[in-house]
Structure 1
């Protein structure tokens, strides 16, 4: 073979190799859109290399300190105080904006929107448009649900766009906080985001993080109040680890196996999301003797999984000790294949991206609440204790304990003094997230 032929062959081979390398990591046409790729690495260069949730530990602990302070001042309002905590923490992390009072517009408006939205998406609230699409042509004067939907959407959009306005003003005036939504604002073109997408991205963060954390903490208080022996045992464990000279820290969690078991058992008995976000099969799937065709919508019945008598002894019984006897609280010989403690955050590739953030909020607050306060039954006018009905819940997307009364008292004057001291020490950190607050709000 002549040198010219060999040279031509080598050149062609070299060009082919270069083209193949340049295409490696590129996004094929049938794949969904995403950030720009680079040769070989694709999007690997933008994968997170650090645990982002650790960046927010300080504001989570500070907001948890205010929750204790709020319970000192207004113990009867523990339900709304918890909501303020969860919303303010998410707003601080996502928007660089905290809300020190529940009555502040963002928090109260958010929960009103959530209640209205939960109602209208609930079973029977609207006609089955997906089954009978022709119903969408019913005039609004004969379809009250259309009027309600428009009203909810209007309030929603105003709330979400108001929050985006905060980000825009802050960036324009060079008053950045370094929060998530500021970063998204700077990279709108890169992610192909317009203002509407920005608004609803922020709404997803707030909706996913606020309600779920609040619902669990409210359930936590209902259970430890209804089961005083469990409360006292968990308090003793915390006292042995933390003592009374300081409040709990995130580092204490690993030394509290019984409290961990209590948290897991509440998640089992009353999962915040009884049915997980549905998934769709991308191919025919065989499950036992059944075949799920491609395109099937799959719902994960977490409540049913957590109450399966083949897996749990007395599944309806609240028994934290079951998680001390076995890893997943299951009975001897039960098949634990595929079980995870974090299943309530989703399954498959669509696990909640804020899972670690939510877990940290739950941990610091369960420790704080048991360390700082005693929770007991209230009494009626005749002096009789008012029991807590653990079955008094609102079913829907979230399994929510309805408001109830309980007596919340600090465990000692020493605990009270530490709470007040910790709250005062958190003021400097709070100030970083209070640029948009009024003078009256800052007095709180």
Structure 2
């Protein structure tokens, strides 16, 4: 039965029996799956009117509230589910997820210990534990659990293999380094390729076409298209398994990879931006990552918020935005005068890198461009959500992964307004410092 049929059946059932709490909650579950969170929450609450002691409905309500970012309410709902059924594994797991997404990482670990008390640490539990451990900087244990991702139902990369590399000497063997996540993750992990070369083998490196030029200096033996594995190799590893294989700690994060910026891209960027206007600061902006990324709604924001930076005297804004969010700039009425659109000139990450070299600063919400700018050593101000990508930790304004990156964090209220206010104040100070205005 597809989604539409299931919805129709539930609506018919509720028309004849509006006190069926389970049916209300199932309808809420279907609405949640299609992103209709307000309706989902209302359906779960209607179900609780009929069945207030139903732990499953409380847990389903908590899940919908988590996706809506209403964490206090979500945690209360999950607590009620556990009051009713304190040992149910699914409810313990859902509570752990809610705690992590609310930024309560140590409570997350405690809940996972409770869920795994019988020794059954499922891939899902280990994955949540990995994310919590990495967020608090426990890389030693976090990277061990990080490998559990390959056992998740949602994992669509290469399955675990008997030929998995253990990080030891390669002794002339061929290592297939495959990619599995996004552009930013590939840039992040590329710093480990020089360390892999020291192991003495042949490296068969899988690379997104958009990254091929900018990562062409890695010194690998072959570059492969994603989804086209080599016919022959001896051992394999995911690029995102390399931090764990090399025993990375907060104190031993390798420096970012050296990127290749072709002369042709540099010439195009210099021509596009032209002569620098004296006494000004060139600031690149990006307000959204890949829209198909599941958490993009939390990490991204709108172009409108970035326009406050155009109010700072001496600042000139340049959009590096790509993809569907570019339409915001086209519709804004400010393209070409308040904001120079560079997106149409960017054919790949090498072109983006060349444009970054022409800028003084990048201010953005988190996406692959943050990894690119950080690898170039470009000053980048990353405006991050309350619980950001694990490399950014949970406090402070710096990350060891990118020394030139400054973090501006959301608070627990997930409000972007104070984040942009702090960034605007910092930008005024930066203009004074660099231009004397």
Q: What TM-score bracket applies, with the shorter chain setting the length? A: under 0.3
- Structure number with greater Rg is 1
Higher fraction of strand: 2
Scaled by the length of structure 2, the TM-score of the pair is 0.23
Higher fraction of helix: 1
Higher relative contact order (Cα pairs below 8 Å, separated by 6+ residues) = 1
